[in-house]
Chain A
């Protein structure tokens, strides 16, 4: 029978919402503790999730969210405490066992969830291929048919034969989520699933998640994004320093939840708008893509400008042009009123144009290096005499930056892999703040960063902004509003609007973001979602 996976899920007796009137406790954790060495990561965590419920888990970086998820997923064992699934003790010794028991996880790190060289169809069926259910002969035709069924149910609008490596991050994320959903999970854990999705794609994900809730799947949703939380949460659990510091039932009090997560209310990051000096950087008649309209803009000393727009509208391409990674099809840049046409990132850096690229794990971090050596990498000349490095000076400089950005670590000689996501991002930002720049471009600097770290980074950018022009690329409107003086809107590889944050016309901004060429219906759903905030 070719019933869709979702319907199969609904058909599980335990999960039938109409069957048992009172919600079934699908997952129950009691007194779970976990230490790594002397470090107590989880201390007495109690948690229960029922079928057909979305529980949002909020926690700052390092609060223990990932550890909790890994224990449920069978990656780690709890030191003490008990876990029950459907009332039966549940101690998965491996992720595979957890999956067999109906616990599926979509990890934050997108590339963990897909096999890049396989096609979309093969990825969707990966778990089934791996556990041998498919039998010895599994013809491509049969695979395609099954994958098509899955894709249709999940409204996955991708070419099933394309290798995943050719997809952008957002599409990979959808594949990885779809792959988990193809398992008919009882409990689905989503770890910051929207962190690289555009609003439209996030909207699609929300619809899928709501459908799953209706069919009786229990969902543990980990996120920092208020828009996600407002949209989905039935219950919020705040985790801080390995303890549950608050459980919030409907009607949900979001401020109280944020407070419980951080231990203090949110400080407003927005400082006074920066003093706007002379133009440091100008772009004239830039064309990024065949057929896209040329655009111009200028960046002034002292201001922070946000470039916003949906994922895939050309923001990163513009940043790469400014940093010498690629060239615009036509048009020219000027830096300090002189022609600026960098042939390589090295030349851009030498001229004072710095860029922190998006997706830090792939494009910023040197995993084999400690914090200090990651920080100094672009500026080694200034830490060396006749080519010989001065380690003491490097460490000194690193300690100053760690201190200034409040990076949580033992010392500057920690490996970056030992830091939480937010602290890794702080190190990446600190690298480019450690030397004076004329233009600083930050591509999605708040990706996978909790609210507190985001506040720290925003404040630091503002403090240091006077002597340079700062351009922040973000698909998140609230991030742009929080940190920038001025917002440029990009759509279809061109700049379609400009706003001052101080006197913002929200409707016009949203209309520009949604873009003229996108079908009216989709545009409407984007702006609806944004208005829903």
Chain B
């Protein structure tokens, strides 16, 4: 009798650990059977490309979630970064390296600002980053008086801009290595690898998890908590600015309305990530799989002619399912 109980516990542990990955596999097989083209290389690459920007943002949010924070400003950081890159090249005529550097600085700066709001001014994280989000949404409109940025655009003072998007900048968003793998996918995978390694295998990552689990105990174990928290927001900010660069390079213009959905998609991916491997905590691998999960589902449904407007509903369903999985099953098993 004790044996069956043990076997049951073992099975439950396995189910929690690999349940989500098995589910992903089942979904892939289902779509492949229904629509053989789903398994084609082209379609796979499309899935990766469709989630790459979301995943980059989600990986940054993961870092703030690890220290028990939250960054609502990532969507607007990405949008601001996109506008910055466009403005730098189109209006100021800067090259791609300068534009990228400017965007990364912007991300770091906003992250620092968020971190200081949370750590020094002691504003609760959700509210602080909500404020920053609003701030940036407004700020990015001011230099162009609310217009989108494109080659030869009319400036607020009536003159016409002279610069244009650098070829090497557009390369980031449009080039495909070996004619098949987009650069943005490579960047997403590289960033995932870096953040995964950082969180799982370095002492800095370990301390960040400790802070997220018990801040006071971490401080009394000697961790400089404030610095780690600020660093987490800076990681989040810089990831979001990379997302913005990729977005600008893909669309080739500074579009004021793009990036609206990025925040929700990225946060959803990071939260779905809690359920992958059943660890019930933020983790980089889970975040990546979470983003891909949504991508697979949307691509499959689209190929099966599901209507476009049902997408958000599908994402929401996956998120709720993952959250229930995380917070009921995993927690119960820990008792």
Contacts and interface: CB of A to CB of B under 8 A. Distances in A.
Interface in B190-225: 201-204, 206-207, 209-210, 212-214, 216-224
Contact of B220 (A37, A357, A384): A357
B9 interface: yes
A378 B222 contact: yes
A312 interface: no
Contacts of B224: 344, 346
Nearest to A383: B203
Contact of B222 (A346, A362, A363, A373): A346
Contacts, number: 82
Given A38-B6, A363-B217, A345 B222 contact: yes
Given A38-B2, A366-B217, A349 B222 contact: yes
A367 B2 contact: no
A389 B202 contact: yes
Nearest to B2: A38
Interface centre among B214, B216, B222 (most CB of A within 10 A): B222
A389 B204 CA distance: 9
B206 A389 contact: yes
Contact of A366 (B2, B210, B334): B210
A417 B212 CA distance: 17
A377 interface: yes
B177 interface: no
Contacts of A389: 201-203, 206
Contacts of B216: 362-363
Contacts of A344: 222, 224
Contacts of B212: 368
A357 B281 CA distance: 27
B44 to A, nearest CB: 32
Contacts of A387: 202-204
A147 interface: no
B6 A380 contact: no
Contact of A365 (B2, B204, B214, B281): B214
B219 A37 contact: no
Q: For the side of the interface on A, what is the size category?
A: 20 to 34
Contact of A388 (B2, B5, B202, B218): B202
B210 A377 contact: yes
B6 A355 contact: no
A380 B207 contact: yes
A355 B222 CA distance: 10
A378 B214 CA distance: 14
Contact of B334 (A38, A357, A381, A415): A415
A96 interface: no
Given A366-B217, A384-B202, A389-B202, A37 B6 contact: yes
Contact of A369 (B201, B204, B213, B222): B213
A346 to B, nearest CB: 4
A325 interface: yes
A364 interface: yes
A366 B203 contact: no
Given A346-B223, A369-B210, A37 B202 contact: no
Contacts of A323: 220
A284 to B, nearest CB: 25
Interface centre among B209, B218, B221 (most CB of A within 10 A): B221
A150 to B, nearest CB: 32
A364 B203 contact: no
B2 A373 contact: no
Nearest to A394: B206
Interface residues of B, number: 26
Interface centre among B9, B206, B207, B223 (most CB of A within 10 A): B206
Contacts of A384: 202-203
Interface in A386-401: 387-389
A37 B5 contact: yes
A381 B218 CA distance: 15
A378 B219 CA distance: 9
B2 to A, nearest CB: 4
Contacts of A38: 2, 5-6
B220 A364 contact: yes
B246 to A, nearest CB: 28
Given A38-B6, A415-B334, A380 B213 contact: no
A378 B203 contact: no
Contact of B2 (A37, A362, A380, A383): A37
Contacts of A388: 201-203
Contact of A380 (B5, B203, B220): B203
Interface in A336-388: 344-346, 348-350, 355, 357, 362-369, 373, 377-378, 380-381, 383-384, 387-388
Interface centre among A325, A348, A365, A389 (most CB of B within 10 A): A389
Contacts of B203: 380-381, 383-384, 387-389
B220 A367 contact: no
Contacts of A368: 209-210, 212-214, 281
B217 A373 contact: no
Interface centre among A366, A367, A388 (most CB of B within 10 A): A366
Interface of A: 37-38, 323, 325, 344-346, 348-350, 355, 357, 362-369, 373, 377-378, 380-381, 383-384, 387-389, 415, 417, 431
- Which 10 A-B residue pairings sit nearest by Cβ, starting from the closest? A368-B213, A380-B203, A346-B222, A349-B222, A38-B2, A378-B221, A387-B202, A377-B221, A384-B203, A366-B213
28 contacts: A37-B5, A37-B6, A37-B9, A38-B2, A325-B219, A345-B220, A345-B221, A345-B222, A349-B221, A357-B220, A363-B217, A364-B220, A364-B221, A366-B213, A368-B210, A368-B281, A369-B210, A369-B213, A378-B222, A380-B203, A387-B203, A388-B202, A388-B203, A389-B201, A389-B203, A389-B206, A415-B334, A417-B334
Given A366-B210, A378-B222, A431-B221, 10 more contacts: A345-B219, A357-B220, A364-B220, A366-B213, A366-B218, A368-B209, A373-B206, A380-B206, A384-B202, A389-B206
